[in-house]
Structure 1
Amino acid sequence: MSHPSRPMNQKPSAPLQAFNALVEAERKSPGLWYFFVTVFTAGFLAAVPFWHAYSRLRRPALRTMAIAYTAVDLFLVLLLAITPSSGSPEAEDSSLSAVAGFTVVAVTIAACVQLRGIRRDVYATPPAVPAHADPAVARALAGRQRRDEARKMWNSDPSLARELGVGRPDLRRGFDDGGLIDLNSAPAAVIAQVCGIEVQHAESIVEARQARGGTYFNVGELFVDVSLPSYVQQQLVDRAIV
């Protein structure tokens, strides 16, 4: 026996729509479930968000608050248990229902107010760490700046640059050029060390330099004379001066 199929355009039930709306709200703004649990349970589960926050942040103050709200929740349960039902004769003379209602409202409001800041702390996006905050990155950026400054000196005052030993760390003149290398005078071992390339490539550079008389006017001329891998060329573009 076949069962009637559900119409394709039939909308989800109201509870399902409400659940989907809550899921979407939580996705857009994480931590809203703190308020949903507190409000929809009328404060009876108000301690749950505080225990969750304590498990994430490990703050003693949050543990104290979680314990306090747990005690209040237990008090609410006890109060609800001893409150006469609305249809019983005792309900007319009992003020417990009024006390219970006031307590529920007070607990719900107080918890929501306190959870506003706690939720931000638990679900806050970690601040981006600036690249220069990493010591290794800071050293690399400082070296790049030193190379730029030394390269400008090399182009504007080559005599001073040579006197300071720019591009020739093997001369030990004490000037920090950030790691430049003079392709027209540096030995192969120094070229390999400064540029971080294999010695055989550095030796090929020196051999080509000697073959043409010892002078390159730009790095591009070297690339024409010597076949070098792309990573070696990139290192030379960054480090070489001529």
Structure 2
Amino acid sequence: MAESTGDAASAFWKKKYYVIITGASVGIGRALAQAFSREVAQNSVFVITGRNAENLNETKRLVAQDAPGVEVVAQVMDHSTATFDDYRKLITDTWSKISAADGILLVHNVGTIGDVRKYATQFTDEKEIDDYFHLNVTSVMTLTSAFLEKFPNSSNLSRTIINISSLAAVKPMAGAGIYCTGKAARQMYMRIIAAENPTVTVLNYSPGPVDTAMQRELHHGVKELAEVARGNRKDASTHGNVLQRIHVH
């Protein structure tokens, strides 16, 4: 499942890009960082974020191995507490590392599944709910706002935003209420961004069931989702589809 807008993607690859990928310390985020780094021009700058410094530095090492001409900035960041001002600073501090960029790319990959042992009506703790949505929705909104504030239409840069989505954004799954709600909110938010910013290429991309630690936890807690995924799992290194989407749209 993917939906996109904009026409900048036809000239995306082999250009000098400034890229931010959240949640890049493991899994899909790491695979995307590696895949994208092989496609951009030398002297591109990749900013990767995550909470685990060791894993994040491993992603940095892998990207440097795949694309030695790309500069990688590994920024330890907790998106569950990050603010708009934090994102402003992140972008300001790292944008200075690139000169004469052809375009910019923001990938919203960070996310959690929440407590899959609970049904929707069992979420009664307001703080638990607020914390979940700050990480999975609010941080996406504030980072996007900081990104588009820094790079408005007048910047004349090719601007692309990718949201890593899920079947859960459109299919209700018993036992995954907070996860489905968060994914649906993110997907709709990105559609609004596309409607309000027609010169920005926006892609809601669902890679399908991917064999990551988070997905295994979700399968364990939610039998219905495990049934959907059975026989259709992919390794996190399977990144060709999203590359093709950017080429096509």
Shorter-chain TM-score range: under 0.3
- Structure that is richer in helix per residue: 1
Rg larger in structure: 1
**TM-score, normalised by the number of residues in structure 2:** 0.21
Provide the TM-score with structure 1 as the length reference. Answer: 0.22
Greater fraction of residues in strand: 2
